[in-house]
Amino acid sequence: MSIHSHAGLPARAQDRINIGRLVSDYYVNTPDVNIIEQRVSFGTSGHRGSSFNKSFNELHIMAICQAISEYRGQQKFEGPMYIGKDTHALSEPAFSSALCVLIANGVPVVIQDDERYTPTPVISRLIINHNRENSTQADGLIITPSHNPPADGGIKYNPPHGGPAEGDITKQIEQRANDIISNGMLDVKQVTLIEAMESPLLTHEDFIAHYVNDLEKVVDIDAIKKANVRIGADPLGGSGLDYWPAIAKHYKLDITVVNDVVDGSFSFMPLDKDGKIRMDCSSPYAMSGLIAMKDDFDIAVGNDPDFDRHGIVTPTGGLMNPNHYLAVAIHYLMTHRDWKEDTKIGKTLVSSSLIDRVATLVNRPLSEVPVGFKWFVDGLHDSSYGFGGEESAGASFLCRDGSCWTTDKDGFIMNLLAAEILAVTGKDPYQYYLSLVEKFGEAHYGRVEAVANLAQKKVLTALTTEAITATMLAGEDITQILTHATGNNAAIGGLKVVTENGWFAARPSGTEDIYKIYAESFTDKDHLDLIIKEAQSIVSSAFEAAGL
């Protein structure tokens, strides 16, 4: 993919959305569930879309919330539902729609006391703490499309384990919601917003204090304080904006919020690589403003709008590659936490194999799972996983005493861990990464996209190992051909091919006529390029064998 000419530069007038029209379309446009793009569709992170193209409208949210209310009744969840929202323009109207339906269905709802913004990991922590201390089961909703562009909205459901809902749950909610829309919304129960806000079923709590007061249980805050680590934090206009000052005040840390603007158009953002506004804290283009400040702080950190992702900037290395930081975090945690010796390291199959080598070095079991944080939920919940992380800069880990912290991604603790690493070891995370490179060599990682029609994507999703006839990849013997993850035997929904010094994985896109190739080489960049080239040939051969 070519880099847009304005990537990394400030957004221009023509890059900004019309928020008035966006919100108007949310209420006015009526989706047609006979059109695939306008149906309720739960991906790995809930339902997302835009009111501009009728893929995220009031009817979607009302139908989803009615379906969730019915699901809660079937499961006999009688505890509160914690609801959070981020700063996207569509989050506010969706939040109101959700309250009106949930309250009408008799669901006890808890929201932030000042009705401002709540990050994803905060909702997860609230659910876990409630269910640890009470017999009634709580769950949660987070209204966010994560790092997606400003025109998008999103909603995701976290059941009582506190993490992303499993596929069987989201499939049930999705199907019921689409049926509700098809039937003219007749099954939706709804009260007015005034009635919802005045209902005894609605409770306000100080989510910020609850979360901030607990942080010392998971990160060595005292070490950060004693070392006087200077932290620069850029919320990227997201839901954690009010949290950084509270963390600084409560723990007396040196934290500077470099941007405190909330603007639904996110017009303060530098453009991403494709020329779109996207709050991706792992993108050097979207993070160019913070990268320019790298020498002003010991550690600079960024987050996406719902704060489930992290971005680490150091004076020595700039913005860290998410894979590199995952490996650093894992090595540090497994050598500086007194966790059980059989505590597992969880990684997605497209994360760097540097993590595999670190796991061997620290003598901890490694569990490689398909793409999606939902695969780490059970292990984090029962503390059998000490760490769960994915290549897209999302991770969480256990409390210092080995108990569960969150079962959803937590950008706060990953950012604060970077400061702890510097405070305890004297090395910033990039310097720490270089010490791993000295042991294992440098990993060269890449991701590309290739064209694939619907039929080809179906073939790729359903591939068997027998369908792959290749025995060599980029000059090396193929040692593994995988269509199921080694950590839990769950289907990859694609293919992974491994050699001694490299690998590739191919997975179809759920929304575009493409498939994605992830690849890595521990040899050099030329070897990586050859892996990617031959990966496309291997996949094309599978298509041809299927008559496509």
Looking at the structure, do residues 426 and 506 belong to the same domain, yes or no? no
Residue 4: inside a domain: no
Looking at the structure, do residues 429 and 505 belong to the same domain, yes or no? no
Residue 457 is predicted with a pLDDT of 92
In which domain, by residue range, is 240 found?
211-440
Looking at the structure, do residues 161 and 174 belong to the same domain, yes or no? yes
Residue 179: inside a domain: yes
Number of domains in the chain: 3
Residue 1: inside a domain: no
Last residue of a domain, one of 405, 440, 475: 440
Neighbours of 114 (CB within 10 A): 11
Per residue in 46-80, pLDDT tens? 999 999 999 999 999 999 999 999 999 999 999 99
How close are the terminal C-alpha atoms of the chain, in Å? 25
Residue 270: inside a domain: yes
- Identify the three-state secondary structure at position 357: helix
Alpha carbon distance 249, 255 (integer Å): 9
pLDDT in 10s for each residue of the chain, 548 residues: 589 999 999 999 999 999 999 999 999 999 999 999 999 999 877 999 999 999 999 999 999 999 999 999 999 999 999 999 999 999 999 999 999 999 999 999 999 999 999 999 999 999 999 999 999 999 999 999 999 999 999 999 999 999 999 999 999 999 999 999 999 999 999 999 999 999 999 999 999 999 999 999 999 999 999 999 999 999 999 999 999 999 999 999 999 999 999 999 999 999 999 999 999 999 999 999 999 999 999 999 999 999 999 999 999 999 999 999 999 999 999 999 999 999 999 999 999 999 999 999 999 999 999 999 999 999 999 999 999 999 999 999 999 999 999 999 999 999 999 999 999 999 999 999 999 999 999 999 999 989 999 899 999 999 999 999 999 999 999 999 999 999 999 999 999 999 999 999 999 987 678 899 999 999 999 999 999 999 999 999 999 998 88
Looking at the structure, do residues 436 and 381 belong to the same domain, yes or no? yes
Looking at the structure, do residues 53 and 152 belong to the same domain, yes or no? yes
Tell me which residue of 10, 2, 548, 1 sits closest to 292, measured CA to CA. 10
Alpha carbon distance 347, 363 (integer Å): 16
- H/E element holding 68? helix 58-75
Neighbours of 136 (CB within 10 A): 13
Residue 1 is predicted with a pLDDT of 59
Looking at the structure, do residues 258 and 407 belong to the same domain, yes or no? yes
Contact 422, 227 (CB under 8 A): yes
Residue 548 is predicted with a pLDDT of 83
Last residue of a domain, one of 165, 186, 205: 205
- Choice among 51, 97, 124, 146 that is catalytic: 146
Looking at the structure, do residues 221 and 187 belong to the same domain, yes or no? no
Residue 537 is predicted with a pLDDT of 95
Tell me which residue of 202, 200, 206 sits closest to 113, measured CA to CA. 206
Residue 223: inside a domain: yes
Looking at the structure, do residues 247 and 340 belong to the same domain, yes or no? yes
Tell me which residue of 347, 344, 547, 536 sits closest to 448, measured CA to CA. 536
Residue 6: inside a domain: no
Q: Residue 495 sits in a domain of what CATH number?
A: 3.30.310.50
Looking at the structure, do residues 225 and 186 belong to the same domain, yes or no? no
Residue 177: inside a domain: yes
Burial readout 491-519 (b: 16 or more C-beta within 10 A, e: otherwise): ebbbbbbbbebbbbbbbbeeeeebbbbbb
Alpha carbon distance 132, 381 (integer Å): 11
In the chain, how long is the greatest CA-to-CA distance? 68
Q: Is 135 a residue of the active site?
A: no
Looking at the structure, do residues 98 and 236 belong to the same domain, yes or no? no
Looking at the structure, do residues 201 and 243 belong to the same domain, yes or no? no
Residue 11: inside a domain: no
Alpha carbon distance 142, 308 (integer Å): 11
Last residue of a domain, one of 172, 205, 238: 205
Output the DSSP codes for 254-289: EEEES-----TT-TTSBP-TTSS----TT-TTTTHH
Alpha carbon distance 55, 226 (integer Å): 50
Looking at the structure, do residues 165 and 187 belong to the same domain, yes or no? yes
Residue 309 is predicted with a pLDDT of 97
Using only C-alpha atoms, what is the Rg of the chain?
23
> Is the overall model pTM greater than 0.85, yes or no?
yes
Q: Residue 383 sits in a domain of what CATH number?
A: 3.40.120.10
